[in-house]
Amino acid sequence: MSESRQDSGTIEGTYVFDGAQSSKGYRLNKFFFSLNRAENRAAYKEDPEALMERFGLSEWEKRKLREKDWLALAREGGANIYFMYKMGSVTGDSLQHIGAAFRGETLEEFLSTRKVKGAR
C-alpha cells in the first residue's frame, strides 16, 4: 500500500486524497456535505455568500467556488470529489462537467472520450 501511495504522486494528473488533503479541506468538505440538506441547498441558491461565510470558508475557497475552479479546489484546497459533487448538484454542474474541468476540456471534448452514449 505505501508503495502505491508513493508512486501516485509521480503520475501526472493524479491527486491523492489522503489525511493531509482531508485536513486541508475540512471546512470546504464540511460545506459541501452540508448540501445534502434541502435547507442548505435553498440557502445557497438564495445567498451563496452568506452560506459560505456561515461555514467559515476562506477568501481563496470562496473565490474558487465562484469560479468553479474544481481542479484547484481538489488539488490545492483538499476538496473530496464525492463531496464536491454535492456542490455541482446545486449549481447544475454534472460530474462530467467537473471531469472536463479537471482535464482542461470543454464538456463536449470530455464527452467525446466517454463510451457512454448521451452522457451528460
What is the domain range of residue 81?
16-112
Number of domains composing the chain: 1
CATH number for 82? 1.10.700.10
pLDDT digits (tens, 9 = 90+) for 48-90: 999 999 999 999 999 999 999 999 998 888 888 888 888 988 9
In this prediction the pTM is 0.77
The mean per-residue pLDDT over the stretch 5-18 comes to 63
Query: Which residues 6+ apart lie within 8 Å of 65 measured at CB?
Result: 48, 52, 57, 73, 87
> Is 3 a domain residue?
no
- Tell me the three cell numbers of residue 32: 459541501
Please say whether the beta carbons of 44 and 51 come within 8 A.
yes
User: Rounded to whole angstroms, what are the CA distances from 91 to 31, 60, 63, 101?
Assistant: 14, 19, 15, 14
pLDDT tens column, 90-117:
998 988 898 898 888 999 898 888 876 6
**What's the pLDDT at 29?**
93
Residues recorded for the chain: 120
